[in-house]
Amino acid sequence: MNDAERPSSSAAGKLLEKIPGAEPEARIDAWWGLVALTVIVTVALAVISPNPYWNIIVFVSDGILVTILVSLVTFLLTLVVGLIGGLGRLSSNKIIFGISTLYVELIRGIPLLVQLLWWYFAFPVIVQSIGRTFNIEALISYQANPIAMAIIGFVFCYGAYMSEIYRAGIQSISRGQMEAARSLGMNYFQAMRYVILPQAIRVILPPVGNEFIALLKDSSLISVVAVTDLTRRGREFMSAHFNPIETWMMIALLYLIMTLFSARIVQYIEKRFRIER
């Protein structure tokens, strides 16, 4: 075949896309190889040198479950809080707009670690003070649950950032979409539910996915408020065996596996719901 008969690269690409399974969205993300490599390195260390690497994995296994649990529950609640905050930031009601804006501005200005410490140490004292004031025994004897306080702290903090993501996503949708929905007889909430939000969610998928990955990494901060997550269990193992290099190498690999795996799932979801330009 001479050069004149050989198809151009663009034409060859179009022909390739007609082959079932060869479409760009159907191809396997090459970055899964990095996930596999990280898993292989972790397994190899555990097999070649079970003491201490395999012992570390066994010791922190319950901490891994706590980290995943806190991250997933927090993320689901953050989506709800962020939606409420985002709609509040777009409300024409000055009171709702003011409360939503005040929440976002205040929470974003306080470090996450400080917020976690406040919920774990200060909030129970406030509850107990209220109990003593009104002589309510249940409040007087209130003791903070570390996991619950950690989740609340994360939801309040990440909810403020998620509110801004929702607000930006909703504002990116043309005003004509709302006007068209209202002209069809929908009220404001119906137009938001069936027309605006489905489009906005597809727009905000990338930043929402990034927020989940950031949340998964920031979950290591809950180790300072008595939650036995992966980081805290790693610190306990290091304190008992005095091997910081091996311990934190394995902890880093375990976090890396979770974040890389989450990133690939987020990338897959983005491809499935991507808006074609």
Segments making up each domain of the chain, as ranges? 31-46+55-271
Report the half-sphere exposure of 223 (CA within 13 A, side-chain side).
Answer: 18
- Tell me the per-residue pLDDT of 95-129, one tens digit each, with 9 for 90 and over: 999 999 999 999 999 999 999 999 999 999 999 99
Please say if the pLDDT value at position 26 is more than 60.
Answer: no
Q: What is the pTM of this model?
A: 0.86
Q: Mapped to the 3 state alphabet, what secondary structure does 194-243 carry? A: HHHHHHHHHHHHHHHHHHHHHHHHHHHHHHHHCCCCHHHHHHHHHHHHCC
Please say if the pLDDT value at position 261 is more than 90.
Answer: yes
What was the pLDDT predicted at 154?
Answer: 97
CATH of domain 31-46+55-271: 1.10.3720.10
Please say if the pLDDT value at position 69 is more than 90.
Answer: yes
